[in-house]
Amino acid sequence: MSFKRWIKTIHNPKTKRLYVDWVERFCKYHEIDPDATLLWKQIEAEDRMVDFQVYLQEGYHMVMSRKMNRDYEPLSGNTIKQAWNAVRRWFVDHRIPITIDPRDIPTGRVYFDYIPNKDVLKMILGQAKLKYKVAFSLIAYAGMRPSDVCNLRYENISRSLLQKDDILSIKLRQRKTGDWYVTFLSPEGTKYLKQLLDLRHTKGERFKAKSYVVSTTGMPLKVNTMRCYFNRLINNITGKNPTGESFKRFRVYGLRKYFRKNVGRALDESESEYLMGHKAGLDKMSGRYSGLADMDEDAIALLKDKYRDTLRFLEVDRQESMIDALKRELSRYVTTEEMEDLTRGVGGGKAIKAEWDAEIILSALTRALAK
């Protein structure tokens, strides 16, 4: 099939963009049209791929440095492997087997991401416009990927919104497998999201199932637009840290690492990975929470209770309540199953007062200590 037709066989938008880009660069390096490479035999195709790998490792950054008139960092090993896999798929999809693998490619990290703390996140959310405040909250408080934030639709949150949940349930599809999973947005992030929707509603907008959530015009926010705004925001607040130190520049993806770091202080690895939409987490949690794979509301409610325990670590202005402190202390002496039984109903509705919740947990803690 032709190159243009091959492109249509790649369904994931991000994978399509990357693979097309690398196949085009491969062909440009060898000064040949993509369709003409299909006339090569297996050995020639493999030899050309090795030549391209060497170029990426040793010559690409030098070419880019001259072109951009500045020092250009060498490509990471993972990026070179990504290029190799793209070109390999082009050939394999056209029945030209590639039986060799890239060799001598260092896969160690080229740089380390800075993970922001609460002070940095508080400053970012305080300075950001409402639309971007919602976007950054979805990444930092719900662990969503930037691309999923931009593609979030009203149907993903409508049920939880209509129920007026303080913690918003967000139902999403895992991009690679297509499996459904759920994550949650903290009360602070939910407040920002409702403010944005209310603003759009006052302007006469009526929301449909496919309406984009992170938007002011009804059109989707683009990932690159979000990244550029985030970078400008970081530059504008540099030097305004309450500690007197300069803010460190970091990627918007660092907000997702903030989520992973802080939910891990209250949840186990499987629960944390699930909320981030990682396949490993989805596979493990479907067995632990019966009905979660089918988006059962009871299973979602159980997981939301666990997420509630992370709020003291996630939200920038939240202080640990007396109830949270008692629950944390009780968890040291009982199993997870016993904890769920002992605290069942705590925080379950407006009719239950905080004093009564505290008395329930304090009584359970007293019995646990007596044992």
CA 180 to chain centre: 15
CA 62 to chain centre: 33
Residue 165, burial from CB neighbour count under 10 angstroms (0-12, 13-18, 19+): middle
Is the alpha carbon torsion for 248, 249, 255, 256 positive or negative? negative
8 Å CB contact between 175 and 218: no
Tens digits of residue pLDDT in 174-212 = 776 678 899 999 999 999 999 999 999 999 999 999 999
**Of 218 and 111, more confident:** 218
**Greater model confidence, 32 or 355:** 32
Q: Is 206 exposed, middle or buried (0-12, 13-18, 19+ CB in 10 A)?
A: exposed
The pLDDT of residue 58 is above 70:
yes
Which residues are 182's β-sheet partners?
A: 171
- Determine if the pTM surpasses 0.85: no
Tens of pLDDT, residues 150-164:
999 999 999 999 999
Read off the pLDDT of each residue in 85-91 and give the average, rounded to a whole number: 94
Q: What is the pLDDT of residue 42?
A: 93
> For residue 111, what are the CA distances in angstroms to 104, 197, 309, 342?
19, 38, 32, 46
Name the band, by pLDDT with cuts 50, 70 and 90, for residue 234: confident
Question: At what angle are helices 254-263 and 130-142 packed, to 10 degrees?
Answer: 40
* Residue 353 banded pLDDT, cuts 50, 70, 90: very low
Q: What is the average per-residue pLDDT within 303-325?
A: 77
The mean of the pLDDT values for the chain is 82
Question: Which amino acid, residue 230?
Answer: F
Whether the CB-CB separation of 138 and 152 falls below 8 Å is answered with yes
- Residue type at 312 in one-letter notation: R
CA distances from 295 to 155, 169, 171, 172, 285 (A): 14, 11, 8, 10, 12
Task: Report the share of the chain in percent with pLDDT over 70.
Answer: 76
Residues 6+ apart with CB under 8 A from 279: 174, 176, 177, 179
